[in-house]
């Protein structure tokens, strides 16, 4: 925050005017790691395959359970999870349903189990705890859809961040229509209306406050780190700028919604202009989607 003396006086005054940071300034700040040292843990100790990243200490922290995309693992989102933890958010991810024909309902159930572990177990050396009213779910691709399914099954989830969501069975759009909690939906500008993206449909049916943002020059798999099977199938490679911007967007959104930090309110506002992104009206007419390479692969294997 920048502090300035009150204008209109010849002498100094004790009155100050607090000038909020601009969205551009906040975005730049959130693009870098936060102030907290990060610890990594294994969820298997509580019977759930997966990982958890936490700040080194803190009580009553917000937490998010993150669902991975198709044919990926939690290792492909390490930097994202570490980034959230560095900003004071407990970030945990189940490492299940990784095969070619996953159960979206199963991943949603594992997200809820992961949240329960974070909420009920003292993490670290007992110096880390999660507040029961500061819970969120998030995910990428099918994991984003699974996060919506998870939110529909529980009343204690306060926010959803769906990153480049893909269709699920059962339909995440049907569940979204009954949700009243805030949501951030991020999509790639280059494949926003592809047939294997349901970002627009999800935003159009969401029952509560929702923001749909497309990331300039981005594709839906640009946030997936490292080498993976999908790259060999022509599904796109890791995009450093896309990943960096997406980390900032979801961090700001979660800090505001479950972290209760009002200084990041622009990250949940439709009217806010955030550099290198575009707010999308989900109700605007669109051209019919064109089949993508990944969608053709899914059709071949019957997914």
Q: Which domains does the chain have, with CATH numbers?
A: 32-301 (3.40.50.1820)
Nearest to 19 by CA among 7, 10, 32: 7
pLDDT value of residue 294: 52
Q: What percent of the chain has pLDDT over 90?
A: 76
CB-CB contact of 250 with 144 (8 Å):
no
pLDDT value of residue 127: 83
Residue with tokens 């990428």: 140
- The first and second tokens of residue 299, run together, are 């059709």
Does 140 score more than 70 pLDDT?
Answer: yes
Does 18 score more than 90 pLDDT?
Answer: no
pLDDT value of residue 254: 98
Which H or E run contains 131? strand 128-140
pLDDT value of residue 171: 97
Mean pLDDT of 204-223: 95
- For every residue of 226-242, DSSP letters joined together read S--HHHHTT-----HHH
CB-CB contact of 164 with 220 (8 Å):
yes
């Amino acid at each position: 925050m920048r502090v300035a003396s009150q204008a209109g006086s010849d002498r100094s005054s004790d009155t100050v005017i607090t000038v909020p940071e601009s969205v551009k300034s906040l975005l730049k700040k959130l693009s870098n790691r936060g102030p907290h040292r990060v610890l990594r843990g294994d969820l298997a100790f509580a019977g759930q395959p997966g990982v958890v990243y936490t700040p080194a200490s803190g009580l009553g922290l917000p937490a998010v359970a993150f669902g991975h995309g198709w044919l990926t693992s939690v290792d492909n989102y390490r930097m994202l999870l570490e980034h959230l933890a560095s900003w004071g958010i407990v970030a945990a991810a189940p490492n299940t349903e990784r095969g070619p024909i996953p159960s979206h309902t199963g991943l949603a159930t594992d997200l809820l189990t992961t949240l329960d572990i974070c909420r009920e177990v003292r993490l670290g050396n007992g110096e880390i705890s999660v507040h029961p009213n500061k819970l969120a779910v998030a995910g990428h691709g099918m994991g984003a859809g699974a996060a919506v399914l998870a939110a529909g099954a529980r009343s204690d989830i306060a926010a959803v961040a769906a990153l480049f969501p893909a269709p699920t069975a059962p339909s995440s759009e049907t569940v979204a229509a009954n949700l009243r909690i805030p949501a951030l939906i991020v999509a790639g500008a280059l494949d926003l209306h592809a047939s294997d993206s349901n970002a627009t449909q999800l935003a159009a049916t969401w029952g509560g406050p929702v923001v749909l943002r497309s990331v300039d020059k981005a594709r839906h798999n640009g946030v997936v780190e490292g080498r993976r099977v999908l790259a060999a199938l022509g599904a796109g490679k890791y995009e450093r700028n896309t990943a960096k911007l997406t980390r900032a967007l979801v961090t700001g959104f979660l800090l505001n919604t479950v972290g209760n930090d009002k200084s990041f309110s622009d990250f949940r506002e439709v009217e806010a202009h955030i550099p290198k992104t575009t707010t999308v009206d989900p109700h605007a007419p669109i051209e019919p989607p064109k089949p993508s390479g990944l969608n053709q692969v899914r059709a071949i294997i019957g997914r």
